Amino acid sequence: MTVPFSQKLIVFGALVSFGFGLSSCQPASDSTASDSTASDSLPPEEVTIRSGHTSWIEESFQAQVVNLGLEQLGYQLDAAKELEYPVLYLSVANNDIDYSVSSYMPEQVGFFENAGGEDKISILGGLIPLGIQGYLIDKKTADEYGITNIEQFQDPEIAQLFDFDGDGKANLTGCNPGWACEATTNHFIEVYGLQDTVEHDQGTYTALLADAITRYEAGEPIFYYAYNPHWIGAVLKPGDDVVRLEVPFTSLPGTMSDLTEADTTFDGKNLGFAGNQQKIIANPDFLAQNPIAKRWFELVQIPIEDMNAVSLRIEEGENTTEDVRQLAEEWVSDNQEQFDQWIAEAQSAGE
């Protein structure tokens, strides 16, 4: 018997906890360690690198791609630690781990600054190019009721269309506690006047998405947060199955409060969130002693379309440690010429 997609997803959600946080601004500048001389640096063969990422399995794939390059460059690798985003920044700052792929800028600039900022952490490269995030609803309901802007959820009749627990408020499938997008969503609910009509549902993001997809398959309205790259965009296609909601004006909390509408507008829609770029964070002292690894971190990059394709394969069942390693090896093989160019350039940093 064929297992419905939503049931497969629930099983998958038990295995992984998505971490996004999910949006085109950087901190003032990428911080870098001081230049190293050849006498300061260590040969890769004498170095064992300690890394970390969240339990989001896609980040494990990204780390595997990075680690395949480090291995080819001669480094040894410890098993990666799974930690939440704020703890990863603190771990890099405190030299408990050497690097992490789990950095999303500008949304996580608060985590970066709270951990000590550029004195303690270097931000490198652009592992995943600019991604966007925001809120979406099913196209059927959007078209029937003319819903285009989250401000319309101030209307109790609109909000109740998306109420599936009977409390009169729209259920927004949102971010895990501790993700940067959690604070942004809570801020939006306040500044857009949605306290009385919208409920921010939080928990394991993947399991919450499974519930949303089940409701969608049953023809019910859905309202959820999403980030690209992620498999959800391949399952519920914006423009076909779902539509992105605009916000009435740009207002972001904390360290992102100076961003403008130009920073949060994509394809003519103000989505409220700034574009995020995924970066690598690393300990400056480690980089000072390992210029080859530093240059590698600056170079390696995975296109969004590749990440979406891998994410969907993971969701469809290729989700063991061995599977993820195989996916990373396949990606390297498919991009061997570019990968080898990056390796050669990184090696030259140690000369």
Q: How far apart are CA 190 and CA 320, in angstroms?
A: 40
Please report the domains of the chain, with CATH numbers, ordered by start residue: 31-131+276-343 (3.40.190.10), 133-270 (3.40.190.100)
Summarised one tens digit per residue, pLDDT across range 315-326 is 899 999 999 999
How much is the pTM?
0.74
Task: Provide the edge-to-edge strand list for the sheet that holds 51-53.
Answer: 81-82, 51-53, 99-105, 276-282, 122-131
What is d(CA 121, CA 123) in angstroms, rounded to the nearest whole number?
7
Q: What CA–CA distance (Å, rounded) separates 112 from 121?
A: 7
pLDDT classification of 35: cutoffs 50, 70, 90? very low
pLDDT beyond 70 at 30: no
Write out pLDDT tens, residues 50-100: 999 998 899 999 999 999 999 999 999 999 999 999 999 999 999 999 999
Mean pLDDT (the chain, rounded): 88
Q: Which two tokens stand for residue 66?
A: 């990075």
Per residue in 246-285, pLDDT tens?
999 999 998 888 999 999 999 999 999 988 899 999 999 9
Sequence-ordered strand ranges (E) for the chain: 48-49, 51-53, 76-77, 81-82, 99-105, 122-131, 133-138, 170-173, 198-201, 223-227, 242-244, 265-266, 269-270, 276-282
Distance CA 177, CA 216 (A): 24
pLDDT band at 6 (very low <50, low <70, confident <90, very high): very low
